[in-house]
Structure 1
């Protein structure tokens, strides 16, 4: 049974369309009834019809990593499929009937004639612009969430290393401090003069306050540890190798211990060496905790600088180098994973430029992340800046390049060369929009030896 004008008038977008135009619409369309489980369309099908849902529901799903995920529902009294002036050509997902449907299908072949019916055309064009707006908003949000997911995964990995080091060092420090009472008791029983104590005290704290750089190779270090361990055990220590590891770390060798032995004497030598080692171990662990804490602070500051979350959402003079460096920190884990080497060539005289900082950092993220993806098996990422009335930032990779037949489409909304599930096709379109906000421009060059994007940011902006 064909749909009626009354049924079409119940559709919100068509409520004010004259009856004669709706009568023409239903006369040119084909009404069909679909059962639960039927496909309205399948992935790869040519989209050349507009669908007017009289009743029932169709679930729209898209394939991602081999599985279909829910995107939306075509609800009763709604319009879907191809709309006038839309460039949609092929289904990228499937439409599955979940409630028995009555659908009016209107072929693309009638679109030209459709334009003779003003109110009907106006209603459908408004529907298309609303759909594009909603779809763009949804995909921009998805692009941001995907970027956030990548950054948070890398950040979690980077934070895990120093936080694990802090925990490990804290446990070792706790264990080391537990030995203090016994070793302190032995120290108290020693009968040492100031002439003996002062040189040892000076030795310990000179190495702590001015810790020398240990530039030994692995082979040289092993040799020195073996020599020192043999010397210490020959002079009464029970755990010479364990002591030698800490002492060598502070550049104390056999010659140093000979001086200590000469000052202290044989009777108290073992107790003094144990005390020295305990003090140095504590210092070493505290240094490790301090360095790991600084690493965490650096990462947190990078996140703060990247998001610019302590500033108002207005343009402010900013250093593009800080944004680029913060972005590289945020993506460090992915750079390591893909074995990508980073080379930076920053100009020294780059002035500050008015920026929406968090937005421009999203541009750097999109460009650098795409460059890393293009170098799955290693490569070189080069970030260059120069100043010539405007600031120019070039991000270059040594990846597989962008095919020449699609390079003109890379800034189009939803266009992506990545497999389904790896990109929304919004990254470069969003980047271009952000650069437009800064009255700049972006250019791309690509061949089979790599791709480079050049971003121009004017110093003077309206």
Structure 2
């Protein structure tokens, strides 16, 4: 094969491989698209189920609200069907518009229908649907998809209670047609449903279709009936798909196929549709528009084909150019050499390129010119051969080297002595195969070599790619006995014979050509890489598109979930707000409870503090009562004396005066007059003492309003001591060291609760008799209150736990474990600090620091 053909064939082979790879890539892309579309259809199947679940939730929520209407429940219990219908019908119309509910049943406990709001005249029939039976058996709300005589419906049934008594059931239903239409709107996809005839009533179906103004389609789908409204062209496609795949669908397999309508392409998916009893009652068809996907795929294929055509033209042009630029000059050189060998010195090479071939042609033309102008001597010919830039090798008939030119020695490093007489095969790769004596003989007898591509080995091992061409060296011999002087005449007569003397090989170093070819291959690889990158870019675009489609699907799903859960979230938010309020109230009640618990521990002492003044007040009142009786007797005698004077009854008047004098001596009115003033003053002091205790109790027991204001902390301590004094006075001596601290911004009630807890704890820590000291002082930033005792102290293992909720070392019934925890929290809420220092058997000191 010629070198030009080999170059073109190599380029075309690369192009064919590139085209094959592109074809495989396109097929792979189509498979990926197929898988993506199948996954999308599977997603649509899942979306239909999720949407159905969401619809059931909406129906369930609406039904629960409906069933709590007390007016409806009252009319139902009255068994007044007409009133119940008149009241319930507007509500039914409202929820029908809002939720798409098409059926409302009131069902008696025995399963008979009491009233249908959607069909007033039909009642007293037995309800045997699976959904109802599930609600009846479980006494819980039941829901699902169930087939009636003329249509599918989403159904929700809830037990109907009056208090704890079951009074019946209420059922909501949504016809599947409405469900499918909503599903279409929410997923932007064509859905259709066919149901098995054996689950439908033919006459009822025909009647229903007639009422809706539709043609009877009972016989359109064989063993199935189209339930949903569907365009004619889709119905025909669904019918064909159902006929072809009915056995697969019966097995529960997913059907997946593609079809075209007008200028649009669709992927059709079909899968089983089951009712609440898991019975296969029909088939759902999903038609997904893939026109845009097909268009993008076709555009990618067209673009790739366009690139391949351009590459083909470029490779073909480059190959032809290289083939012609290399082989044509060599062919011209060979033809001119052949002419010269025949004695035609008028041959000339018309090659003007500036490369090695051009230089060779110029040298050849100069050689011809010199041959014309000079006598051709052996030395002259040798000079010509030695001046050639290409390699020249001359071998004899046995294949042994007889001569080489200087260019060969210069480039390959051999000397003339090393090569002369050597077999030519030692210079070439696979030399024994192409340059043994038999091959040399073949080249002389048959066709010579023309542009045979091979590799030469230099002395140092360097490899030189080369093109090899050969020509036979022939010597003319005249017949024996023919005069040598007349030999030329013999030759001219054409009666000569030629004898083969050897072969001359012209070797063209194509190292630069190989480099150019390598660069071309590199460029081809880069072009192939560019094509692969274009392919990857297309794949990335497909991935991006798929990502966008997945994102759209997720957005649709999330939007559906948001819509479905909006009411649930609102209810949850309401419950959380209510729970938060209850927690706040509970916390406040807990604090109030602990406050009252603390005061409860003091109740006996407070009662004693009140009973003491109350006792002598009660005794004073008794004495005052006796004094009043005496004064009453005196006043009665004075009235009688006044009457005797008026009546001028002197004897009677004297008698009454004597009686009054006796009475005065007997009861000592002077003493009573002085004692009454003392009794009143004592009773007033007692009431003031009681009033003070009650006022202090009211201050710390009333509900905390959270008011923060400037207060005198020492006054708060005094009020607290007034309450807890009975708890302290029998156990400890109280020492007050007040430092006249300034007013502190605080809540007096809460701070008083802290002091009550600390004083009670201090008192309870003292077993027999001790000292309780309360001290106040300040620094530049804070006010300090120290309450210390000489009690038993707190152990090291408990000192870090005393502020923990419910931790207590007291006996059961004497402490809740919340006092110090609440007190610590109150101080912290005042942006203060509460510290404790204690030693066993020496006492404990609590220090409260409040900011000024």
Q: TM-score, length-normalised on structure 2? A: 0.27
Greater gyration radius: 2
Q: TM-score, length-normalised on structure 1? A: 0.49
Q: Which has the higher contact order (CA 8 A, sep 6+)?
A: 1
